[in-house]
Amino acid sequence: PHGLYVAVEGNRSRRLYHGTIKDGKCKWELINETVPQLSGDYEVHPLVYDSKRDRLLLLCGQGQVYHPRQRGAQVTIFAYPLKTGKWEELKTSGYAELSREAVYIPKHDTLMLLGDRKLLVMDCETNQWRVIDTQMPAKGYGWDAAMVYDPVHDVAVALVPPKFSAHMRVFLFRYD
């Protein structure tokens, strides 16, 4: 409802930009130059909008991406309430994995991650992570996977190729 947001980590700079679209053109404005230090792989920092609290959630972590068996892997979440414009780290509990693909599900006030052959969810009221017991696509994942939330049909749509740079397979996940 507020436009587009992008968190960028570049050469010694971490910035948050806000984009607005008018007359078919996007105008970008720098709104924050103090994005938290993003650890882990630079491609694994999803930014999602939590509509219940009117805030952005920025996920990052450490440990090898998509290899949760590596000891020490963790997920860190920073919240950016749009009213205050100040980053704060959320304290979470439970098991989580690093992932590029995260969506917020307003109906259940839940953050969902596409992990390594598993779905993970975080209850945004308690900040507790859980692994969902569900059948997952075999093979794939990694850099080519993608996931978005479709609020009209109340499903998370995941695109998962069987191997790197292969055709995408479509999977629908409904959380209830």
Give the chain's count of helices (H) and strands (E). 0, 14
Cα-flanking dihedrals φ and ψ of residue 104, to 5°? Answer: -105, 135
**pLDDT value of position 21:** 92
Cross-strand bridge partners of residue 60: 76
**pLDDT value of position 69:** 52
**pLDDT value of position 105:** 96
Token reading at 1: 């409802």
**pLDDT value of position 96:** 85
**pLDDT value of position 125:** 96
Pairing mode of beta strands 13-22, 155-160 = unpaired
| DSSP letter for each residue of 78-147 | EEEETTT---EEEP-BS-----S-EEEEGGGTEEEEE-SSSEEEEETTTTEEEEE-----SS--GGG-EE
Of the chain, the end-to-end C-alpha distance in Å amounts to 24
**pLDDT value of position 33:** 84
| Cα separation, 69 vs 66, whole angstroms | 9
**pLDDT value of position 39:** 62
Residue spans of the chain under pLDDT 70: 10-12, 38-43, 62-73, 139-143
**pLDDT value of position 68:** 47
**pLDDT value of position 45:** 81
**pLDDT value of position 78:** 92
| Cα separation, 85 vs 111, whole angstroms | 21
Among 170, 111, 165, smallest CA distance to 143 is for 165
| Cα separation, 17 vs 3, whole angstroms | 10
pLDDT tens sequence across 22-57:
999 999 999 988 887 766 666 678 899 999 999 999
pTM: 0.87
**pLDDT value of position 109:** 97
| Cα separation, 42 vs 10, whole angstroms | 9
